[in-house]
Amino acid sequence: MLKLNSHPSGRHFLQIPGPSTVPDRILRAMDYPTIDHRGPEFQALGKKVLADIKKVFQTQSPVVIYPSSGTGAWEAALVNTLSPGDHVLMYETGHFATLWKKLAERLSLKPEFIQGDWRHGADAAQIEARLAEDTGHSIKAVCVVHNETSTGVTSNIAAVRRAIDNARHPALLLVDTISSLGSIDYRHDEWGVDVTISGSQKGLMLPPGLSFNAVSEKALAASKQAKLPRAFWAWDEIIAANQNGFWPYTPATNLLYGLSEACDMLFEEGLSNVFARHQRHALATREAVQAWGLEVLCQNPAEYSGVLTAVVMPKDANGQHHSADALRKVILNHFNMSLGQGLGKLSGWVFRIGHLGDFNDLTLCGTLSGVEMGLDLAKVPHQRGGVLAALSSLAHSAKVPLAQAA
């Protein structure tokens, strides 16, 4: 087997479902000199990014920006709204929903997990039924992952909001959009979400290092009564400083340069066009997977993710799955391309193809070609023709026919 050259030619294909590839345009923006974070030049930057990010969340409410990973934003959402011992209802959609539950436990909250199979999104009917049982309103928050990065399944947040309303329950709605913001249509205000959590390293096309809480009026009111300890994560001081374009501590200035550029790129393309592009690439990817004779992990077509596709490895004669990690290693060694590994319960028998962020038709074609060649080299049973199926899908879904474009 060939070994990966220590200096391979061409760019590395980073096709994990986040961090996504950072465009050169954003890298150049981040290369600007660091400036005085108390001065007027920074103030103008601060006001711009705070206004821009609201448009991405589709909200008029404050959006708090932290210099942290998405895990920090998980914690911020919980500590600003809840008190020790509070009961929270969470839904097991996959690995990241499970990690969020563990974080809640460490904060002395009492999460109740509605069990899922990691192949479907959050079931709004189950949430409604559980809330209807809670006549004493002991449940203080409902926590749902919008797009589960480990499974390629997207949950219907509008349906969850309706479930809470139908049960006439006062619980807050907290939603993780770490892998969906800027890639899949998401509407904080319209869907009645109280805290939306996100991160910089996926649809926003930035390096890891920024995280976000979009905060409703109801959540702000809850924060005044919440008793969990908080200092760095506290919304009040940050929102107060943000009104003048500043932060109460040293912000991640160069990442904010990048965020400003990322928002410009999203708005230039148009958010609706960005969402349509992701869905189009996801469709072509699924067409390829099906042509290979492999199985998409997500079992409900209404919940297919536009951000990634999780693929189930076929079984051998003994009923054991072929190794997804061995396949990923072959693809990395031969084609300098990284695919997402199976996480948690999916470890070893699922791999994930990321198709998000700064991504176009040719990038997708290269990605799928690498997968198809890798399947052959790794001797994974499959049918050829996945790339051709994707090409056909892309040609039929193109906005402008090639003849007209010429």
**What one-character-per-residue DSSP string does 205-233 give?**
-PPS--EEEEE-HHHHHHHTT--S--STT
Q: Residue 341 in contact with residue 325, Cβ under 8 Å?
A: yes
Please check if 352 is assigned to a binding site: yes
Helix (H) or strand (E) holding 57: helix 40-57
Q: Could you give the CA distance from residue 258 to residue 357 in angstroms, rounded to a whole number?
A: 14
Q: How many residues does the chain have?
A: 406
DSSP 156-214: -HHHHHHHHHHTT---EEEEE-TTTTTTS---TTTTT-SEEEEESSSTT-PPS--EEEE
Query: What are the φ and ψ backbone dihedral angles of 272, each rounded to 5 degrees?
Result: -65, -35
- Separation in Å, CA 331 to CA 1, 292, 345: 11, 16, 23
d(CA 324, CA 314): 9
DSSP state of 248: S
Show binding-site residues for substrate.
352
Show binding-site residues.
352
